Amino acid sequence: MNRSDYVSALREGAARLAKAADGRLDLPVPGCPDWTVRDLVRHTGEVYLFWRLIASGELAGPDGYEDPAPVGDEQLIPWFGTQCEELAAVLAELDPDEPRWSWSARKDAGFVQRRMAQETAVHCWDAQSAAGLAEPVPRAVAVDGIDEFLALFHDEAVPPADFPEGGVHLHATDGEGEWSVRVADGAWTVAREHAKGAVAVRGEASDLLLWLWGRVGDDRLEVFGDASLLEAFLRSFDRD
C-alpha cells in the first residue's frame, strides 16, 4: 500500500465506523472491555487529532499535547468526521519519507499514514461488531496490517524462554500472504516466507489480523501443530 491507499483506507474506514456508531453510542464494544461505542468514537477522534498535530509539524512529539474539550453526543460523530478529514488532508500531502516523531523505530510520515489506516481498520471493526454489523477488514488493508503488526510490535516483545525455535507460521488462505515468526537469540524474527513452524495458523487475512489484535479467537482459524503455544505467542506482544 502507498500514501494514497492509506489515506483512502483512513477515510473509508472512518466513514464505516461513523455509520456503525450512529444511534448506537451506548452499546458496549466487545473488543474493548469497559468501552461503549461513545468511548470508541471519542478515542479514535482524539487519536486523529494527536497524529494530525504530529504530521503537520505543529507538535514535535507528545509533549505539549492537550486533550480536546469534551464533545456532546449530538456533535460527537460530526466532530469525529472533522478530525478524520483534517488528518487525511494533511497526510495526503506529506512525503512518506518526511521525518516525524513516533513511538516506534520508524520515525517518518509514512509511519503515521500507515498507522492511521490500520488504527481505523481495527476500530471500524470494533464499532461494527458492537452494532452486530461486523464486516471483514478489506484484504489489502488486512495483509498490510499483519505486516505492520509483525514489523513494529515485535520490537520490544520477548519470546517465552522455552518457545520452540520453529516459532509460528501464519498463512492467509484468501490470497498471497505467509509469515514466519521465529525465535533467534532471545528475540522474535519475522520473514515473509513459506516455512514450517511449531504451530501454523491459517485463515483469511482479516481474521488473522483481528486475531493478532485480540478481536477474535483462534476458533475462527485453522490451527496445525501445538495450539497451546498460541496464547504464549500473543501474550508476548504489547497490544494495548
Give φ, ψ of 121 to 5 degrees.
-60, -45
The answer to whether residues 125 and 10 belong to one domain is: yes
pLDDT tens column, 191-225: 999 888 899 999 999 999 999 999 999 999 999 99
- With beta carbons less than 8 A apart as the criterion, state whether 127 and 41 touch: yes
Provide the whole-model pTM.
Answer: 0.94
Select the more confidently predicted residue: 151 or 215: 215
Q: What is the pLDDT of residue 239?
A: 62
SS3 category, 203: strand
Q: Are 97 and 171 found together in one domain?
A: no
Is 95 found in the same domain as 172? no
Nearest-angstrom CA–CA distance, 61 and 57: 9
> Which residues span the domain enclosing 195?
140-235
- Do 165 and 99 share a structural domain? no
Mean pLDDT, the chain, whole residue set: 94
Closest CA to 31 of 147, 141, 134: 134
3-state class (DSSP) for residue 180: strand
Identify the bridge partners of residue 187 per DSSP, sorted by sequence position: 184
Asked whether residue 28 carries a pLDDT value surpassing 90, the answer given is: yes
114 within some domain: yes
Using DSSP, state whether 148 is helix, strand or coil: helix
pLDDT greater than 80 at residue 240: no
With respect to residue 240, please indicate whether it lies within any of the assigned structural domains: no
- CA 74 to chain centroid, in Å, comes to 28
Q: What is the pLDDT of residues 42-93, one digit of tens each?
A: 999 999 999 999 999 999 999 999 999 999 999 999 999 999 999 999 999 9
Residue 174 has pLDDT above 90, yes or no: yes
- Domain end, chosen from 81, 102, 135, is at 135
The pLDDT value given to residue 175: 95
> Which grid cell sits at 154?
515485535
- Asked if the model's pLDDT at residue 185 lies above 90, the reply is no
Q: Mean pLDDT across the stretch 149-160? A: 78
